[in-house]
């Protein structure tokens, strides 16, 4: 996520009577005033009471989230939840023994971007290894009904402009996003460089040959001079650590491994085989918000088990107007991505090109340098705090307007600042709760207590179910090796990435760590993450392509950060991260804030606290400097 706004000071106003109206969004340029200063409806609230309520709601959840076993990895008895349902045929083949210049691990948009940028920089001897049966990453796995990107397609779908592709909608659906990954594969000749259905399990540095040796689950040994793990965030499911989960006798699956044989239908819906089924969904995060309307429409009965409600605002998706699209000037995609990022990083460009719910949200909730400079820090914080309250009051008012049953409406209301969790946008989620077959089971922050052979138990009540859908998320905030499934054995005897980063990451600019030469990460740790994940990944791809091609041009054998450069960057991450910790402390727990993992570890695994735009500028300036500053460089004997 983009940086969180500081709002630790107490609100200085006792009562206000203002709630923002959700603005109408256009596809094209919107002057900033239209989205940043919405009209206000009259509805009064007491900020101090609200603040107290937020803290109480957080505290309830700290109990359930605090327990170490609240999630379980998909291993052992739960391993089958990660099986690939999309694979038409498992390829049988002999183990591969080969060498390449650069090994890229992962074939999602990120891995593809790294490969494309490397090829464009002249590094063509590359190999891509991907565990799935095709390119696509997140969009290979997530094919649940209603799956859709929540970032505008024109800035999210990589290299649209470069390859002349027009996304069909402002927020494209998953099928189109997957097809785009395949299109990139064909367009840039990536298929001939890829090995699918193959999972890299370990990397070993071989000092004698200064090569990495990758070992896979197919018995392969791939030797590479450079290795770039681009393992992404949303592919390795995690399961809720609910006692009895293995005992359930009905049908169950994780949202990212949807079983259409069981439900019928496809990503557009039509889940006709659920007509006589009692279905439960566990989790009410961004994924569930997209799934619930479809389950609601087709299941005999749908039970939505909620631990924390999501904030859900209007989506207002539109088809792309081809005339508008063809009127865009060369360079539009980069400009649009940067404009979006500037707004999400607290800047105030003249125009809001994307002009949607996200830019509107960040324009209102982040401090704006140009307008807030005359206020002192405490006043700024109070102003932000009040904006946050007003924003969430509108989210809650929207629920009252849409959901007919007052008790259900009350349960669906989130009480936390909107940026504590991923903000959701959907037009059919809340109306789904008006259907007589849809039952919201509010666990009041505690979560589902037990799973039995025939259903689930919440408090004193048990619910008989035929099917459970686990919309319980992915390994995002966990240790790097757990998240990626790869162990890396570095240059120092006995040192692995797990042991080095056991108490939190330590890197130079997020992409390189001492003791692991020529291993370049594309990850969020000590780097940046932004709502438009593809933007930052694109920048990292450009960066790594520069590093690899520069090494080749200059006859450099290995690079790794100096101890000083790494320590300095890590200190910067930790100190800048501290500025955000008051906000994080008040947040309801969740993946965005690492599920309240120990603060020291979280601080080291944090993203750059100066914001993703500033981070990208740091990388860009470092490249422009062209001195590989901060790196220990060893030249090849031939070089």
Complex with ligand NDP: residue 459 or 555, whichever CB lies closer: 459
Distance CA 96, CA 386 (A): 60
Candidates 6-14, 96-104, 145-153, 433-441: pick the segment binding ligand NDP (CB under 6 A). 145-153
Least separation in angstroms between CB 140 and ligand NDP = 14
Which residue has its beta carbon closest to ligand NDP?
473
Per-residue binding string, ligand NDP, 320-339, x by CB under 6 A, is: --------------------
Residue in 234, 241, 74, 65 with CA at minimum distance from that of residue 595: 65
Least separation in angstroms between residue 246's CB and ligand NDP is 15
The piece of 203-211, 268-276, 282-290, 375-383 that touches ligand NDP (CB under 6 A) is 282-290
**Residue written as token pair 């599920």:** 595
Residue written as token pair 């402002």: 170
At its nearest, how many Å lie between ligand NDP and the CB of residue 496? 27
Q: Tokens at residue 314, please?
A: 């209007």
Rounded-to-integer distance, Cα 430 and Cα 397, Å: 12
Which residue's CB is nearer to ligand NDP, number 71 or number 516?
71
Taking the C-alpha atoms of residue 140 and residue 135, their distance in angstroms, rounded to an integer, is: 7
Nearest to 622 by CA among 513, 511, 524: 511
Q: How far apart are CA 3 and CA 344, in angstroms?
A: 8
| Helix (H/G/I), strand (E/B), else coil: 582 | helix
What string marks each residue from 44 to 83 as x (binds ligand NDP by CB under 6 A) or -? -----------------x----------------------
Q: Could you say which residues in the range 570-629 bind ligand NDP, by CB under 6 A?
A: 590-591
Per CB under 6 A, 307 contacts ligand NDP: yes
Kindly indicate which of the ranges 143-151, 477-485, 487-495, 522-530 contains the residues binding ligand NDP, using the contact rule CB under 6 A: 143-151
> What's the distance, Cα to Cα, between the start and end of the chain in Å?
42
Q: Examine residue 552 and tell whether it contacts ligand NDP (CB under 6 A).
A: no
Total site size for ligand NDP, rule CB under 6 A: 28
Distance, CA of 526 to chain centre: 15
3-state helix, strand, coil in the chain (%, to 5): 40, 20, 40
- Specify the stretch interacting with ligand NDP by CB under 6 A; choose among 279-287, 431-439, 560-568, 569-577: 279-287
Token pair recorded at residue 264? 């019928």
Closest distance between ligand NDP and the C-beta of residue 531, in Å?
Answer: 8
Nearer to ligand NDP, 267 or 308 (CB): 308
**Number of helices and strands in the chain (H, E):** 23, 25
Q: Does 150 bind ligand NDP (CB under 6 A)?
A: yes
Helix (H, G, I), strand (E, B) or coil at 16: strand
Nearer to ligand NDP, 313 or 448 (CB): 448
Pairing relationship of beta strands 301-306 and 278-282 according to DSSP bridges: parallel
The residue among 255 and 540 lying less far from ligand NDP, judged by its C-beta, is 255
Among 286, 346, 504, 515, binds ligand NDP (CB under 6 A): 286
Which tokens is 212 given?
A: 């990495």
> Minimum distance from CB of 429 to ligand NDP (Å)?
12
In the list 30, 153, 252, 284, the residue contacting ligand NDP (rule: CB under 6 A) is 284
Residues in region 252-271 near ligand NDP by CB under 6 A: 255
Site string for ligand NDP, 216-245 (x = CB under 6 A): ------------------x-----x-x---
Task: Give the interface segment with ligand NDP, choosing from 144-152, 190-198, 337-345, 555-563 (CB under 6 A).
Answer: 144-152
Query: Alpha-carbon dihedral of residues 84, 423, 71, 197, nearest 10 degrees?
Result: 20
Nearest to 144 by CA among 62, 254, 235, 60: 254
- Rounded-to-integer distance, Cα 89 and Cα 196, Å: 12
Going from the C-alpha of 488 to that of each of 170, 220, 230, the distances in angstroms are: 40, 16, 14
Which of 103, 104, 113, 149 forms a contact with ligand NDP (CB under 6 A)? 149
Binding to ligand NDP by residue 23, rule CB under 6 A?
Answer: no
283 binds ligand NDP (CB under 6 A): yes
Comparing C-alpha atoms, which of 339, 238, 337 is closest to residue 283?
238
- Are 90 and 258 contacting, i.e. CB atoms less than 8 angstroms apart? no
Closest approach of Cβ 524 to ligand NDP, in Å?
12
Backbone phi, then psi, for 81, in 5-degree steps? -65, -15
Question: Toward ligand NDP, which CB reaches closer, 547 or 587?
Answer: 587
Give dist(CA 485, CA 231) in Å, integer.
9
Closer CB to ligand NDP, residue 280 or residue 347? 280
How far apart, in whole angstroms, are the C-alpha atoms of residue 45 and residue 393? Answer: 8
Measured in whole angstroms, how far is the alpha carbon of residue 440 from the centre of its chain?
Answer: 26
Distance between CA atoms of residues 19 and 22, nearest Å: 9
Q: How far is CA 191 from CA 65, 75, 112, in A?
A: 42, 30, 10
- What's the closest the beta carbon of residue 422 comes to ligand NDP, in angstroms? 4
Identity of the residue, 68 or 627, whose beta carbon is nearer to ligand NDP in the bound complex: 68
Site string for ligand NDP, 434-473 (x = CB under 6 A): -------------xx----------------------xxx
Q: Among the candidate windows 146-154, 257-265, 373-381, 555-563, which touches ligand NDP by CB under 6 A?
A: 146-154
Q: What does the binding site for ligand NDP look like in residue numbers (CB under 6 A)? A: 61, 148-151, 234, 240, 242, 255, 282-288, 305, 307-308, 422, 447-448, 471-474, 590-591
């Amino acid at each position: 996520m983009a940086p969180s706004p500081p709002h630790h000071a107490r609100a200085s106003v006792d009562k206000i009577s203002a709630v923002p109206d959700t603005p109408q969004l256009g596809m094209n340029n919107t002057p900033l005033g239209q989205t940043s200063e919405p009209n206000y409806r009259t509805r009064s609230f007491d900020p101090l009471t609200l603040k107290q309520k937020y803290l109480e709601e957080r505290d309830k959840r700290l109990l359930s989230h605090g327990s170490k076993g609240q999630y379980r990895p998909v291993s052992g008895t739960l391993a089958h939840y990660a099986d690939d349902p999309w694979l038409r045929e498992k390829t049988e083949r002999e183990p591969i023994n080969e060498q390449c210049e650069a090994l890229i691990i992962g074939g999602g948009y990120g891995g593809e971007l790294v490969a494309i940028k490397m090829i464009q920089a002249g590094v063509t001897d590359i190999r891509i290894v991907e565990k799935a049966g095709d390119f696509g990453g997140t969009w290979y796995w997530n094919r649940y009904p209603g799956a859709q990107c929540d970032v505008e397609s024109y800035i999210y779908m990589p290299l649209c402009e470069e390859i002349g592709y027009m996304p069909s909608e402002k927020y494209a659906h998953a099928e189109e996003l997957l097809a785009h990954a395949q299109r990139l594969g064909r367009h840039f000749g990536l298929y001939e460089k890829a090995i699918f259905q193959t999972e890299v399990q370990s990397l070993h540095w071989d000092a004698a040959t200064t090569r990495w040796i990758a070992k896979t689950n197919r018995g392969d040994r791939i030797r590479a001079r450079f290795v770039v793990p681009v393992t992404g965030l949303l592919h390795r499911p995690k399961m809720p650590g609910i006692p009895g989960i293995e005992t359930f006798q009905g049908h169950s699956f994780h949202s990212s491994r949807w079983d259409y044989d069981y439900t019928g239908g496809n990503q557009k819906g039509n889940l006709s085989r659920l007509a006589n089924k009692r279905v439960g969904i566990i989790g009410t995060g961004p994924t569930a918000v997209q799934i619930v309307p479809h389950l609601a429409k087709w299941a005999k009965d749908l039970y939505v088990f909620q631990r924390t409600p999501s904030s859900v605002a209007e989506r207002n998706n539109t088809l792309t107007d081809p005339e508008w699209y063809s009127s865009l000037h060369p360079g539009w995609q980069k400009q649009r991505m940067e404009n979006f990022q500037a707004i999400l990083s607290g800047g105030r460009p003249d125009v809001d090109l994307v002009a949607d719910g996200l830019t509107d949200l960040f324009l209102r909730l982040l401090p704006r340098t140009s307008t807030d400079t005359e206020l002192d820090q405490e006043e700024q914080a109070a102003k932000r705090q009040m904006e946050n309250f007003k924003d969430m009051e509108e989210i809650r008012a929207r629920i009252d307007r849409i959901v007919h049953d007052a008790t259900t409406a009350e349960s669906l209301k989130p009480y936390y600042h909107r940026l504590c969790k991923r903000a959701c946008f959907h037009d059919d989620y809340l109306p789904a709760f008006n259907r007589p077959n849809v039952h919201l089971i509010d666990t009041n922050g505690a979560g589902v207590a037990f799973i039995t052979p025939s259903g689930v138990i919440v408090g004193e009540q048990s619910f008989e179910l035929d099917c459970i859908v686990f919309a319980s998320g992915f390994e995002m905030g966990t240790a790097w090796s757990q998240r990626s499934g790869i162990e890396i054995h570095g240059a120092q005897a006995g040192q692995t990435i797990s042991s080095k980063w056991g108490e939190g990451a330590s890197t130079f600019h997020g992409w390189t760590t001492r003791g692991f030469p020529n291993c370049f990460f594309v990850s969020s740790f000590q780097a940046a993450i932004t709502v438009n994940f593809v933007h930052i990944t694109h920048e990292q791809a450009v960066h790594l392509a520069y590093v690899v091609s520069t090494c080749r041009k200059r006859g450099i054998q290995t690079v790794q950060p100096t101890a000083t450069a790494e320590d300095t960057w890590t200190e910067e991450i930790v100190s800048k991260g501290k500025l955000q910790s008051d906000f994080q402390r008040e947040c309801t727990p969740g993946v965005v804030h690492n599920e309240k993992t120990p603060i020291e570890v979280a601080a080291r695994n944090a993203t750059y606290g100066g914001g993703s735009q500033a981070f990208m500028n740091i990388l860009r300036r470092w490249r422009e400097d062209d001195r590989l500053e901060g790196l220990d460089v060893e030249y090849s004997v031939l070089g």
